[in-house]
Amino acid sequence: MRFHFLAMTAEHATCILNWKYPPPYDLYDYDKAAEHILDSVGWGKTLFAALDETGALAGELTLGFLDPTDEWVSLDDMQAGRLDGCIL
């Protein structure tokens, strides 16, 4: 299967936030990540909607870096190239 990645949109974010999984997979429910998914600053930069071959929403892709202390690197630091010692 091939996926097409687009900048996240409000419509896709809202749909993803409503996905619910049965236990024990409910720990993957996106309502716990609402702040991240709804943060439009990262849309098209670090957060993308994944569409399947039919154009249906299949998931999301988050790109980011962790610093040596396992903290997420800010978008500003990424854009400025401050990634020494970071992992993808």
Domain ranges (residues) in the chain: 4-79
Q: For 18-62, what is each residue's pLDDT tens digit? A: 999 999 999 989 888 899 899 999 999 889 999 999 999 999 999
Residue 9 has pLDDT above 90, yes or no: yes
- The pTM (predicted TM-score) of the whole model is 0.78
pLDDT at residue number 70: 83
What average pLDDT does this structure show over 60-88? Answer: 81
| Segment holding 62, helix H or strand E | strand 57-62
Which burial class, exposed, middle or buried, applies to 80 when counting CB atoms under 10 A from its CB (0-12, 13-18, 19+)? exposed
pLDDT class for 3, splitting at 50, 70, 90? very high
